[in-house]
Amino acid sequence: MGVSATFQMLAELLPEQRLALAEAALREPFLELQTAALSVLIDPAGLNRPDLVVQHYTDLLPEVRRRVAAQPQLFQAAVREEILSGSEWARRAGYEVVAAMDGFNAMATLARAFSDPSALVRECAADLLEGLAQRYYYHLVAFRMHGDPQSREFVERHRDAVIRSLGDLLRAYPAHGKRVFLDLAIESDPDSYPLVTDVVLARRDVPTFAAFVAALSSSPTRSAVELLFKLYLEPRTRLREVAVEVMRMRHDAAFASLVAATLARMPQDAFESLARRVREIPWWGAVEAAPDLDPISAAKMIEFVAKSGLEREARDAKILWFHSSPYPEVRARVLATLQALDYPSISDLAAGFLQDPSDDVKLAAARAIVALGSPNKTRLLLPFLTSTRPELREISAREVSGASFDRYLRSFDTLDPRTRELAAKALAKIDHRIVERLAEEITSLDADRRLKALRIIDYVEAQGNLRELLLELLRDPDRRIRATVLKIVELTGSLEGMKHLVEALNDPDARVRANAIEAFEDGGDPRTAPLLVPFLTDPDNRARANAAKALHVFGRPEGRQALEAMVEDPNEMMRLSGVWAVGEAGFDGAADLLLARGRREPSATVKSKISDSLLKLAQRSKTSEGAPRPAEA
């Protein structure tokens, strides 16, 4: 016999018996039993006891509960009676049913349960309200943060019911302690703003105040930041103090991004008005927690600080904080902003940014240096004449070309060798009068200027254009100049040049003689060997070593013999030059010669040179062994 047939047979029993059996069936966890019992109990012509269904609502299976919620007209009166009954259990069941039937419209009724004498009833109502609030909060955030259309429809459908009950829920916070109602108040602004200011934040000495401050200090939403700014701009001191307090508590990087986004959405006049009113930035702790703040957010924060009412020193320090940002555009903005604010150390800052790894930042720094008219701009920009960035290269070239040749000469001694050479080559490209200027310099009465000019001539390879003037310098009274000319001018290719070289061999200055000997070797003509033989006994170690090495290169045995003798010479300087020349000559047995001397050498300086020469010989030998051999015939 089925359940339906069984309940039809029960119709023949007395009402009291039927009622007891139907009520018992509601407690059984079987769908057919509960469904049949529900039908009998709600039938106006039958038992007509919907109140029993309400009382046993917690025992019902989900499917049966849905049937009850779908027929509110049958249970509304019973629910009201149960809520007002003297039974704790019945009141609790009444609130559960009204929540199921009316949903968000039941929030006001459920809120009244917070005055119920039963803790069980109050807890039940709080849980029901929490569930509704969480659903609404989820859709509210989804709508506000992502613009979800379904969530928007949900929020608009239930907004009035939620806002109507929110005041009661906030006032009753100490009775339920549900954080979600505080989050709703934050996220529902501006609808909830009067409740926040006049209810939640009315008194500091109530639990709700502290709980709301805690919620606001940890909320991850844009609405929380917007609410904080509304409070921050309040004329009422107590509300502004709350905003400052919460902002100081926020030390999370996400908050810095949210603040920047909020500032970006403000109308420009409102943004600037707010900035001018600021005498401190209470959210700066969050900024410091975000060293990699994204470029858009960082830019807005820099702009706000720049327009703020902070003291100049504090303002500039906060802008400078961003100079270590991982984003080049942020670092460049720091420089541009401080330049606009007439930062006292802007020249030093711009010079420092020339070392930035980003070409964009270097370019911004170069522009700043030019705009500032820095007295060191030429020196600072010289290294960028060979930059791969066209704009940076153009700026540097323009500034360097605008500097006078005399200015370059004045800075010559302060530049490192590499920068000197780069500058000289750059000048040669952009200054078409460079040869004329150098010609003037090598005829100067100042020996130092003549020597600098010779070095520049070597850098820019202008020897051919100035050959006649250079040859005249071979008779210059300054030995440094005579020696330098011999190093940079090709003399072995002509009779006149050879004549000058021969004359240089008789120069009283040892450096000139040594350079002349080296020039003969570079010429590669063995017929000049007899000219060098007398210098195997030259009193100068460098001249003697150069002569011995050149003669060895020309195939003369006395060259090697002289080198072997120098390695054993009592004079330390002779041994030092001899060891160097042996390493350069690299004849068979050179390594054995040096090793033998090294075991007996008392001078640490000579020993070091022996090590250098042995290393050079080893490297040369390795390179030679690795070279491809000619194919056999």
What pLDDT score was predicted for residue 146?
A: 85
- Is 469's pLDDT higher than 90? no
Asked if residue 189 lies in contact with residue 153, where contact means CB atoms within 8 angstroms, the answer is no
pLDDT in tens, 277-322: 999 999 999 999 999 999 999 999 999 999 999 999 999 999 999 9
pLDDT attached to residue 286? 94
Tokens of 599: 């075991």
Whether 318 contacts 305, CB under 8 Å: yes
Among 241-250, 264-273, 362-371, 511-520, name the one with the lowest average pLDDT. 511-520
Task: In whole angstroms, give the CA distance from residue 257 to residue 546.
Answer: 71
Higher per-residue confidence, 310 vs 447: 310
Taking residues 368-382, report their average pLDDT.
Answer: 86
Structure tokens at 480: 């440094």
C-alpha distance across the termini of the chain, in Å = 115
Compute the distance between CA of residue 629 and CA of residue 336 in angstroms, rounded to an integer: 62
pLDDT for the residue 4 = 59
Residue 531's Cα: distance from chain center in Å? 67
User: Average pLDDT, whole number, for the chain?
Assistant: 86
Model pLDDT for residues 310-342, shown as the tens digit of each residue: 999 999 999 999 999 999 999 999 999 999 999
Residue type, 454: L
Q: Where are the alpha helices (DSSP H) in 268-308?
A: 268-277, 284-288, 295-307
Residues 397-427 have pLDDT tens digits of 777 765 557 677 777 788 888 887 887 787 7
Q: What integer pLDDT is reported at residue 509 of this predicted model?
A: 79
Would you say residue 632 has pLDDT above 60?
Answer: no
Instruction: Please report which confidence band the pLDDT of residue 546 belongs to, taking 50, 70 and 90 as the band edges.
Output: confident
Residue 231 scores a pLDDT above 80: yes
Q: How confident is the model at residue 1 (pLDDT cuts 50, 70, 90)?
A: very low
What is the DSSP code (8-state) at residue 117? Answer: S
Q: What is the pLDDT of residue 495?
A: 59
Q: What is the pLDDT of residues 64-73, one digit of tens each?
A: 999 999 999 9
pLDDT digits (tens, 9 = 90+) for 83-114: 998 899 999 999 999 999 999 999 999 999 99
Report if pTM > 0.95. no
Q: Is the pLDDT of residue 508 over 90?
A: no
Q: Which helix (H) or strand (E) holds 75?
A: helix 72-83
pLDDT at residue 42 greater than cutoff 80 = yes
The average pLDDT across 452-462 equals 77
The pLDDT of residue 356 is 94
Report CA torsion sign: 286, 290, 294, 298: positive
pLDDT of residue 630: 41
How many Å is the Cα radius of gyration of the chain? 48
pLDDT the model gives residue 489: 66
* H or E stretch at 602: none
At 426, list the tokens.
């750059």
Residue 517, number of CB atoms within 10 A of its CB: 29
- Band the pLDDT of 619: cuts 50, 70, 90: confident
Size (the chain), residues: 633
247 pLDDT above the threshold of 90: yes
pLDDT recorded at residue 78: 92
Q: What secondary structure does DSSP assign to 554-569, as a single string?
A: TT-HHHHHHHHHHHT-
- Confidence band for 633, pLDDT divided at 50, 70 and 90: very low
Average of pLDDT values for 246-269? 92
Residue pLDDT, tens place only, 568-580: 999 999 999 999 9
* CA 617 to chain CA mean position, Å: 49
Instruction: Give the separation between CA 397 and CA 385, rounded to whole angstroms.
Output: 6
Confidence category of residue 629, pLDDT binned at 50, 70, 90: very low
Q: Cα(343)–Cα(349) distance, rounded to whole angstroms?
A: 9
CA distance 340 to 215: 40
Three-state secondary-structure class, residue 281: coil
How distant, in Å, are the alpha carbons of 124, 190, 584 from that of 168? 16, 18, 98
DSSP state of 627: S
**Which pLDDT value is given to residue 7?**
60
